[in-house]
């Protein structure tokens, strides 16, 4: 019997004593996906949980971030494995199809990323334009503030994505700091002579989340990727959409 199955059975035995911890369930779900265990029991719980129960369980910013990061990363692996050509051939459909059942709703990857984790931002607004009329479901479960570090934790199944980690509410700030530092170091190239710095296209797509061009430069200095006295021109690298599954942090 696998570790995941044991934890699931234990959680079922305790369901009458306490409410389900959906932060923990999201971790177990992602682990089941990683080791190719049957994840159907987790998907069923996510589908059938009531909105009220989920809201009660995800009662902090940390828990919301953990839940949605793990859920997004797990379902990406499931859907991209089942539809390996969609990211390259039908990318818009892949991210906008509503095929993630949560609490009686059908969500898309865009719903999770831009609605839940970016506090109802318009996908193409670069972090400067919010969604005009987010629904009650989204408003009940979204984070209250945008944390730019989530962009270094979401894995969309492409080679240009950050690797997948197992996020926990008690460690989320430390984990996101590590994810941001690691991704920025691997995807930044500073040229002192040309006074340029190349960074991931992700920072361009969501520029407002990072505080604009000046915020990106501050971030590069914070992570010691450019000298404090430097003001280089920021160049954005083309994104690598090559399919790359099972990119987990060991």
Return the percentage of the chain with pLDDT > 70, whole number.
92
Q: Put the strands of the sheet holding 196-199 in their side by side order.
A: 189-191, 196-199, 233-236
pLDDT of res. 3 = 55
Give the global pTM. Answer: 0.92
Could you report how far apart the first and last alpha carbons of the chain are, in Å? Answer: 22
CA atoms within 13 A on the CB side of 188: 22
pLDDT averaged over every residue in the chain:
93
Domain ranges of the chain: 3-158
Confidence category of residue 2, pLDDT binned at 50, 70, 90: low
Confidence category of residue 69, pLDDT binned at 50, 70, 90: very high
- DSSP letters of 7-62? HHHHHHHTTTTS---HHHHHHHHHHHHHTT---HHHHHHHHHS-HHHHHHHS-SHH
pLDDT of residue 13 exceeding 50 = no
pLDDT tens digits for range 161-215 = 999 999 999 999 999 999 999 999 999 999 999 999 999 999 999 999 999 999 9
Q: What is the three-class DSSP state of 247?
A: coil
**How many angstroms separate the CA atoms of 63 and 23, rounded?**
6
Query: CB count, 10 Å around CB of 40?
Result: 9
- DSSP letters of 70-109? HHHHHHHHHHHHHSTTHHHHSHHHHHH---EEETTEEE-H
Do 208 and 128 contact (CB within 8 A), yes or no? yes
Largest CA distance in the chain: 65
């Amino acid at each position: 019997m696998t570790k995941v199955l044991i934890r699931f059975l234990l959680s079922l035995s305790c369901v009458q004593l306490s409410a389900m911890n959906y932060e923990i369930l999201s971790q177990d779900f992602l682990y089941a996906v990683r080791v190719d265990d049957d994840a159907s029991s987790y998907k069923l719980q996510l589908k059938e949980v009531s909105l009220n129960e989920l809201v009660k369980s995800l009662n902090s910013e940390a828990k919301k971030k953990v839940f949605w990061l793990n859920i997004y990363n797990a379902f990406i692996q499931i859907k991209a494995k089942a539809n390996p050509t969609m990211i390259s051939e039908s990318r818009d459909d892949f991210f906008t199809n509503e095929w993630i059942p949560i609490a009686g709703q059908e969500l898309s990857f865009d719903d999770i990323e831009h609605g839940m984790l970016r506090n109802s931002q318009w996908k193409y607004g670069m972090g400067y334009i919010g969604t005009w009329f987010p629904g009650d479901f989204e408003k009940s479960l979204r984070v209250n503030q945008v944390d730019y570090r989530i962009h270094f934790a979401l894995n969309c199944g492409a080679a240009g994505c950050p690797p997948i980690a197992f996020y926990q509410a008690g460690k989320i700030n430390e984990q996101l700091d590590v994810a941001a530092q690691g991704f920025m170091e691997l995807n930044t190239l500073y040229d002192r002579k040309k006074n340029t710095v190349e960074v991931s296209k992700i920072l361009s797509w969501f520029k407002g989340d990072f505080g604009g061009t000046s915020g990106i430069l501050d971030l590069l200095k914070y992570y010691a990727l450019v000298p404090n006295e430097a003001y280089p021109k920021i160049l954005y690298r083309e994104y690598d959409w090559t399919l790359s599954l099972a990119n987990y942090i060991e």
